[in-house]
Amino acid sequence: MAAGLRPTLSTDDVPSVGGDMFSTMRTAFAVQRGLDGGLRSRDLLEFTTVDAARSCGLDARTGSITPGKDADIILLRTDDPTVFPVTDPAATVVSAGHPGLVDTVLVAGRVVKRDGVLVGVDLPALRTRLLESRNRVAAAAGVPLDGTWRPRPVSD
């Protein structure tokens, strides 16, 4: 940031966090606090929204709530005991946000999750397809699914 660059965060690779953007933001915030504490909660939110859209060349379409842009919006419950009472919304999202708080999701203005439930998704059928896919990929790679698999050491 001192050089004028804005970092971004993603969940493409999640071995150290829970695979959700809330955990990713919280981990980055905690690490930075341990170094010099130079980040604010608002910075982390910008890394995951405006800055992420800019880094992908999509900032004219998304990344902020602006007239004319796609309405990609996540609404969180604020009455949940894990975050209530909310005093600083940005700090609450970064320090205590979790997927269980996601109440409503709009993608390009279309509601895809409402009241914590996916809209128009046959979840049992999706779970079946995901398990079949996982099993097929693991079998093709020779990876047992019983927790015994370990990566082979890299040889020189």
The reply to whether the predicted model has a pTM over 0.85 is no
How high is the pLDDT of residue 32?
86
Q: What does each C-alpha distance from 34 to 10, 47, 95, 112 come to in angstroms? A: 21, 19, 15, 37
How high is the pLDDT of residue 35?
83
How high is the pLDDT of residue 19?
72
Residues of the chain with pLDDT under 50: none
Residue in 145, 11, 22 with CA at minimum distance from that of residue 83? 22
How high is the pLDDT of residue 4?
83
φ, ψ at 81 (rounded to 5°): -60, -20
How high is the pLDDT of residue 11?
76
How high is the pLDDT of residue 93?
95
Tokens of 72: 């990609």
How high is the pLDDT of residue 145?
92
How high is the pLDDT of residue 14?
55
